[in-house]
A and B are shown apart, each in its own frame.
Chain A
């Protein structure tokens, strides 16, 4: 059986044939034994597929939405601005202002002068901002 005949049978089984075409189909179904067997088999398969699909758990196909290039560019610009803003905020909170650093150093040197006779271990030199900001710079340079 060729594809066109299969389509014709499908149309009848879906109730899409009307008028003369429908009468022609029914006349063939009533007289042609081989055609009748073919139609019955096709109908059996359709009913089988229906019951198979009805008993199968339904899978919802995810919708694939492709983004336009303009949208992609705007989105990447917005992401870059947001990242820059976050970096700025992190650096501002991590590093104290320069005037505060100078004041701290003056206080320290004054305290050292006062306790010249004491044997104190010198304090290790620490960077003025925490280590994670260094890491952030490295990450940004990679990005």
Chain B
């Protein structure tokens, strides 16, 4: 079963090793071949590709868990870019020449610019509509999604009568955000821009 990029990110962020391993397995299936092919074409070997891919995974996990990761492109694109930078760095350290992007590199790039653009746009829209929610709605989403507080804690922090009231309020905020940002399709996108 293949999960979307967002689910993979959340699985890594959950901090549970089983979830993270499952996500990393899928990421390896998606990205490793592409990275290995590129490294082998740029004076590297399969072993080099494996080393670099390991560093890419560490970088990805650390960035996601430290809230430094911004999802502005597909995970494969992100991993490919990180791998490129790490490989160039390694070449420079070892005193070898850093190859200049050739015609083939540009046109046979595994990166899908169009898909990345859509992801970036959707992310921008979501951020804009998040900013337009009421402060309490923003707060409950922050406490639930970002700070991972339990509903009982959220009810105390935000002064709700019960856990159920907090749950309902969060549910409404989430629904509102979905409707605002994505239900209107292109219209909502234009309104946001």
The finding on whether chains A and B are genuine partners in a shared complex, rather than unrelated, reads yes
Show the binding face of A for B, using Cβ within 8 Å.
3, 6-7, 10, 13-15, 26, 29-30, 39-55, 61
- Does B49 interact with chain A (Cβ within 8 Å)? no
The answer to whether A46 and B4 have CB atoms under 8 Å apart is no
Tell me the complex Cα distance, A15–B9, Å: 12
Q: Closest approach, in angstroms, between the C-beta of B16 and any C-beta of chain A?
A: 5
Show the binding face of B for A, using Cβ within 8 Å.
1, 4, 6-7, 9-11, 13-16, 18-19, 67-71, 122-123, 126-127, 130-131, 141-142, 144-146, 148, 157, 167-168, 171, 174, 177-178, 181-182
Tell me the complex Cα distance, A81–B19, Å: 64
| The 8 residue pairs across chains A and B that have the minimum distance between CB atoms | A15-B14, A43-B6, A48-B126, A54-B67, A53-B146, A3-B171, A49-B145, A15-B19
Interface of A is mostly: helix
Tell me the complex Cα distance, A116–B10, Å: 104
User: 18 additional contacts, CB 8 Å, given A41-B182, A49-B141?
Assistant: A3-B168, A6-B174, A14-B14, A15-B10, A30-B1, A43-B4, A43-B6, A43-B9, A45-B174, A46-B6, A48-B127, A48-B130, A50-B13, A50-B67, A51-B69, A51-B70, A52-B131, A53-B146
The answer to whether B7 and A43 have CB atoms under 8 Å apart is yes
Among B7, B122, B145, which residue has its beta carbon within 8 angstroms of that of A50? B145
The answer to whether B11 and A15 have CB atoms under 8 Å apart is yes
The answer to whether A52 and B14 have CB atoms under 8 Å apart is no
Among B10, B19, B142, which residue has its beta carbon within 8 angstroms of that of A53? B142
Among B16, B18, B127, B157, which residue has its beta carbon within 8 angstroms of that of A52? B127
Among B7, B15, B130, which residue has its beta carbon within 8 angstroms of that of A13? B7
Q: Closest approach, in angstroms, between the C-beta of B13 and any C-beta of chain A?
A: 7
The answer to whether B14 and A45 have CB atoms under 8 Å apart is no
Tell me the complex Cα distance, A49–B181, Å: 13
Most buried by B among A10, A14, A47, A49: A47
Among A7, A26, A42, A48, which residue has its beta carbon within 8 angstroms of that of B123? A48
The answer to whether A55 and B174 have CB atoms under 8 Å apart is no
Tell me the complex Cα distance, A61–B69, Å: 25
Tell me the complex Cα distance, A119–B167, Å: 94
The answer to whether B174 and A14 have CB atoms under 8 Å apart is no
Most buried by A among B127, B145, B171: B145
Among A10, A47, A55, which residue has its beta carbon within 8 angstroms of that of B9? A47
Q: Which residues of A contact B4 (CB under 8 A)?
A: 40, 43-44
